[in-house]
Amino acid sequence: MQKNFFKIYNFVNEFNLSDLHQLSKDICIIYRNYDNIYHLENILKLKKYCKDKKTKFYLSNNIKLSIKLRLDGIYIPSFNNKVNYVQNYSLPKNFDIIGSAHNITEINVKLRQKCSEIFLSPIFKINKSKEFLGVNKFNFMTLNKKAYFIALGGINEKNYKMLKLLRTSGFASISWAKKNGLRKLRPF
């Protein structure tokens, strides 16, 4: 299942204006900060920044706050495996539910959570994990699934051209997007 356009996401854990200015305006931002419970100020600053730049803004793992602040959607991490996580809420119009997974079981959980886009990781080798999916396993895992898949993990300037071999609708970055802004990749 392929989209007509290629989406790029960037994960942030704080409001850092110098990092955000390096990003292209069409990169969606996902805020995830699990250490700091008093992060409402950062969220409000990011919301205003994203609204000014006309880019999408997602909050990680807090659906109540996402709905209350009228954000573009929610990002459900792989460790949240509650099947009825979003079913107890009346969602606003055009509210996106995106999530992440590492294996087939987690993909099925994300589909039951009504995720329209699923981040599948790690695609390439990363320092945190000895295992990674690679091109063939990624394509096999996404076969016959009714969701759009986003590549995540280990993507850098050396291997980003391999994304064209994946059945993906985009990719996500944690550190690489901050380093170069990804301006030279557009259009993909």
Instruction: Please give the Cα distance from 119 to 68 (Å, whole number).
Output: 24
Cα 125–31–152 angle (5° rounding)?
Answer: 20
Quick one: fold of 7-182? TIM Barrel (3.20.20)
Q: Which residues of the chain have pLDDT under 50?
A: 1-4, 186-188
Per-residue HEC secondary structure of 63-75 comes to: HHHHHHCCCCEEE
**C-alpha 140 chain-centroid distance:** 20
Which residues contact residue 143 at a Cβ distance below 8 angstroms, ignoring those fewer than 6 apart? 167
What are the boundaries of each domain within the chain?
7-182
Q: pTM here?
A: 0.85
CB 78 within 8 A of CB 101: yes
Instruction: Give me 76's structure tokens.
Output: 């459900």
Burial of residue 17, with CB atoms counted within 10 A of its CB: 0-12 exposed, 13-18 middle, 19 or more buried: exposed
What's the pLDDT at 184? 52
pLDDT in tens, 81-115: 888 888 888 889 999 999 999 889 999 999 999 99
Instruction: Give me 48's structure tokens.
Output: 């205003």
How many other C-beta atoms are found inside a 10 Å radius of the C-beta of residue 6? 18
Q: Which amino acid is at 64?
A: K
